[in-house]
């Protein structure tokens, strides 16, 4: 078996083939990036987090397009989150059964 070819044939883990799985994670606000107040919640320890709705997704996510509606003002944690990293893959596994 040609292992290199098999790896190349694997579908890419990109956001385009996802359903914003990482936007279900708790997102702490550790710097002020201008997130509108209506999207901010206070967690059990008094810290600011992105509010999430009953469906589990962040309140700032557009449910139709699955895109962030506050992209220019998104929290630092969202800016630093990278597709393909451990948490991305584990969220995809949880919600997409990969």
The residue (of 1 and 53) whose beta carbon lies closer to ligand SF4 is 53
Question: Which residues inside 9-38 make contact with ligand SF4, applying CB under 6 A?
Answer: 13, 15, 18, 20-23, 27
Alpha carbon distance 79, 32 (integer Å): 13
The token pair that represents 6 in the structure block: 């098999």
Question: Which residues inside 53-82 make contact with ligand SF4, applying CB under 6 A?
Answer: 58, 60-61, 68, 70, 74-75, 78, 81
Place of tokens 């044939």: 9
Is 49 near ligand SF4 (CB under 6 A)? Answer: no
Alpha carbon distance 34, 37 (integer Å): 9
Q: Is residue 85 within a helix (H) or strand (E), and if so which, with residue range?
A: none
Among 37, 56, 91, 98, interactor with ligand SF4 by CB under 6 A: 91
Q: Is residue 69 within a helix (H) or strand (E), and if so which, with residue range?
A: none
**Which residues contact ligand SF4 (rule: CB under 6 A)?**
13, 15, 18, 20-23, 27, 50, 58, 60-61, 68, 70, 74-75, 78, 81, 83, 88, 91-92
């Amino acid at each position: 078996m040609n292992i290199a070819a098999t790896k190349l044939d694997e579908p890419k883990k990109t956001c385009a083939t996802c359903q914003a799985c990482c936007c279900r994670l708790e997102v702490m606000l550790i710097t002020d990036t201008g997130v509108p107040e209506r999207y901010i919640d206070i967690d059990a320890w008094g810290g600011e987090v992105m509010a999430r709705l009953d469906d589990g997704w962040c309140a700032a996510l557009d449910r139709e397009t699955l895109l962030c509606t506050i992209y220019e003002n998104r929290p630092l944690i969202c800016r630093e989150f990278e597709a393909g990293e451990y948490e991305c893959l584990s969220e995809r596994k949880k919600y997409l059964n990969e």
